[in-house]
Amino acid sequence: MEDPTCFLIRQSAECEPIQYSGCMGLPYSQTSFPNIFGWPNQGFALQTAPFVFPAYDPISDCHPDLNFFLCSILFPQCTTEGQRHPCKSFCYEMNATCGERALALGLPWEDWICATFSENSCAVPNEDSTTPPTPMDGSTGYTDTDGITGSGSGEAATTQTTITVFDYGAAVTAYDNLEATLGPDIAAELGMSSFRQDLDLYAEFDGTPLANLPNISGIIIQPERWSVPYDSGEGVTTGLFLPETRNFDPNVGLPAELPSSAIAAVRDNYPQFFNRYLPQLGRNYATMRDDVEFDEETYGPDAICPYPPRTELGGGFGLQRIPPALCFPILELEVADADPAARTIVIVTIEVIGDVIWIEILVFRSLSTE
């Protein structure tokens, strides 16, 4: 069985018409999910795409088929025999002409996925979509190499329980445990009671595959992805999702410091939570960052799966692959960016990660399209 940190694409769901206007008029009109980045369904994609595609407008002249390339990855072609991804050579061509410009603007650009694509029965612009596709055998997927390893403990976990279905009872228990740990004042500051009300709406979905859960009320389903969790030793985990870890280069490493404006936003909006659980976040991060080492052989673009599902980085930090999760946003705020042409958004959420609940800090940075 494929390791979940390496192969995110399983047998596709049934084909459905593309509903996103920016990807209509392609050589194909049918798509299916999850896509290569774990977006679970088209509903999630339709919520996310309006924020993703405009961010690439400033580099739209890098290649005449940039939009097709983005569509073919995010809204992949679906046939009766499964998904078709961009041709490998076409993907490398896009990397060569658009990749550096995207990364220079802080835009996500997952160049490593090209190595996992094929030259047979693949998607290219103006392709005859009736070409017989290669049947999917469950092994089609991508090698996710935005991982890192560190010298904090020097050891990576080699096993973990793969949680594939939603366990409502476990989620409620995790909520009760976190609420008790936080105490009434901090729980109220974070709006935990509102999260619990929405969580109860998922009782009827107990046992449902995580990737198939719907978005209900204030909760959205986040796809499988990497996190940098931080535990200060107080029994509460804070997950960090940074722009740099989405296009991670082991030769460069983690950012020198956490984005100060984003951390300040958390401190100013949730002072009780911050003062109790995150007062040493920046200092501990800096120490960890100075000590951590990155293993190109294990996590670089030529690494061979399976990747460690969790690596201890030291200082309370780790790198962990997390499954699809229930996410309840409690703050979304644009914060100052050193580049006047860029936008930085910080989002704070409460998230069900398997049988535990984390507080998340997500940081998104892109060139402003205004």
**What are the tens digits of pLDDT across the range 37-55?**
767 788 878 888 888 899 8
SS3 328: strand
**What are the tens digits of pLDDT across the range 263-280?**
999 999 999 999 999 999
Read off the tokens for 19: 């509903």
**What are the tens digits of pLDDT across the range 328-362?**
999 988 888 777 766 788 889 999 988 899 999 98
Which of 125-139, 217-231, 347-361 shows the lowest mean pLDDT across its residues? 125-139
318 and 179 within one domain = yes
Residue with the larger pLDDT of the pair 93 and 225: 93
Q: Which domain holds residue 215?
A: 156-367
291 in a domain, yes or no?
Answer: yes
**Where among 63, 89, 116 does a domain terminate?**
116
280 and 226 within one domain = yes
CA proximity to 149, closest of 241, 242, 254: 254
* Mean pLDDT of the chain, nearest integer: 78
10 in a domain, yes or no?
Answer: no
344 and 197 within one domain = yes
121 in a domain, yes or no?
Answer: no
Query: Any idea how long the chain is?
Result: 370
Contact 330, 350 (CB under 8 A): yes
Contact 188, 109 (CB under 8 A): no
Q: How far apart are CA 66 and CA 72, in angstroms?
A: 10
30 in a domain, yes or no?
Answer: yes
243 in a domain, yes or no?
Answer: yes
Q: How far apart are CA 223 and CA 153, in angstroms?
A: 28
212 and 323 within one domain = yes
96 and 177 within one domain = no
User: Model pTM?
Assistant: 0.61
223 in a domain, yes or no?
Answer: yes
Q: How far apart are CA 41 and CA 173, in angstroms?
A: 28
DSSP-assigned letters across all residues of 157-205: E-------B--HHHHHHHHHHHHHHH-HHHHHHHTHHHHHHHHHTTGGG
E-strand ranges in the chain read 16-17, 30-31, 77-79, 82-84, 156-157, 220-222, 225-231, 237-241, 310-314, 317-322, 325-335, 342-353, 356-367
362 and 268 within one domain = yes
Torsion sign across C-alpha atoms 17, 369, 96, 223:
negative
Q: How far apart are CA 315 and CA 249, in angstroms?
A: 21
194 and 84 within one domain = no
- Residues paired with 342 in a beta bridge: 367
Please check the confidence at residue 176 and state whether its pLDDT lies above 50.
yes
105 and 193 within one domain = no
272 and 348 within one domain = yes
Give the count of domains, the chain.
2
Which residue stretches of 183-270 are H helix? 184-190, 192-200, 243-246, 260-269
